[in-house]
Amino acid sequence: MAGLLMGAVAYDPKVVTIWAGFRRWLRARDFEFDFVLYSHYERQVEDLVAGRLDAAWHSPLAWVRSRRLDPRVRAVVMRDTDRDLTSAVVVRADGELSTPDDLRGRTVATGALDSPQATLLPLSWLRSEGIDVKARRFDVGVGLHGDHIGGERDAVVALRDGLVDAACVTDTNLLLFGQEGTIRPGSTRVLLRTEPFDHCVMAAAPHADPVVVDAFAELLLGMSYADPEARPLLDLEGLTRWLPGRTTRYAALETAVDECGLYDGEGRVRDPGYRP
């Protein structure tokens, strides 16, 4: 059987450790696998649809763009932790803001320009409710599609320090920021949450051999958290099991992308301020 070449974005040094480990694990099962690392998602997306990759470990925004560039791109697998996430808009617990309507005209801190969870989705939700705010972006790691914590942490710190009225953050990171001491537990109050959305997904290129891609998916879906060889890899990648890829929870992100004009309907980058 031919091998599979996968792309991944090096948003953190641990990405090398993760996929080198998966490479060893897959090759030990007679599956030829290699990976290429990218500095940002836009080039990874373009290489996937151009046929230079068989598969790509995609952010949700990368998935949206890939499908716009070539609707034949298909979802293969995703982590159990990629399903049904929510983002929150939070305010200081000791402040006067108590309802989403109180945010009208206020300054809301967000993550980077291209962060689905900390910028695109929560701002789209506010727009859908007719709530106009002044967004203060923290453009940390532009091009990484929010696959890092920097922008969200800076947004929450700005809220903590009284520099903004509210901050956009994923529920999981809000918990983390309390645990690590960035904010005091109980010092924020959630004014609203987005509808559940899905995050990363393994995307297969249109040209890729479906037999090879399906074999790759079968091996990943068969990984067990009880397996002492597989468990460290799953821990590093932040999951307990792989699940089949699904595409039903990206509609809200599609809407948000159209609203902000980041990409056009054919997947071309249209925002002149977007420089990965």
CATH number of the domain residue 144 falls in: 3.40.190.10
Q: Answer with the residue of higher pLDDT: 143 or 147.
A: 143
Flag whether 187 is in a domain: yes
Residues 30 and 52 in one domain: yes
Domains: count for the chain: 2
Task: Specify whether the CB–CB gap between 160 and 187 falls below 8 A.
Answer: yes
Spell out the residues 6+ positions from residue 50 whose beta carbon is closer than 8 angstroms to its own: none
Flag whether 247 is in a domain: yes
CB atoms within 10 A of CB 247: 13
The model's confidence at residue 1, banded by pLDDT at 50, 70 and 90, is low
Flag whether 33 is in a domain: yes
Query: What is the value of pTM for the model shown?
Result: 0.96
Flag whether 275 is in a domain: no
End-to-end CA distance of the chain: 36
Task: Specify whether the CB–CB gap between 173 and 148 falls below 8 A.
Answer: no
Residues 100 and 228 in one domain: no
E-strand stretches of the chain: 4-9, 33-38, 55-58, 74-75, 77-79, 87-92, 107-110, 134-137, 166-170, 188-193, 201-204, 242-244
* Of 264, 262, 269, nearest in space to 116 by CA: 262
Flag whether 274 is in a domain: no
Residues 95 and 160 in one domain: yes
Residues 189 and 225 in one domain: no
What's the average model confidence in pLDDT over 227-235?
Answer: 97
The predicted pLDDT at position 147 comes to: 85
Residues 20 and 149 in one domain: no
DSSP 67-136: HHH-TT-EE-EEEGGGSSB-EEEEEETTSS--SGGGGTT-EEEE--TT-IIIIIHHHHHHHHTT---EEE
Residues 168 and 225 in one domain: no
**Structural domain harbouring 212:** 4-82+198-260
- Kindly tell me if the per-residue pLDDT of 150 is higher than 90: no
Task: Specify whether the CB–CB gap between 141 and 148 falls below 8 A.
Answer: yes
Residues 204 and 255 in one domain: yes
The model's confidence at residue 121, banded by pLDDT at 50, 70 and 90, is very high
Structure tokens at 112: 């980077």
Residues 139 and 181 in one domain: yes
Flag whether 269 is in a domain: no
What's the average model confidence in pLDDT over 169-196?
Answer: 95
Flag whether 265 is in a domain: no
Residues 34 and 170 in one domain: no
Residues 166 and 246 in one domain: no
Residues 151 and 202 in one domain: no
Flag whether 267 is in a domain: no
Residues 238 and 155 in one domain: no
B/e letters for 125-146, b = 16+ CB within 10 Å, e = fewer, are: bbeeeebebeebbbbbbbbbbb
The model's confidence at residue 149, banded by pLDDT at 50, 70 and 90, is confident
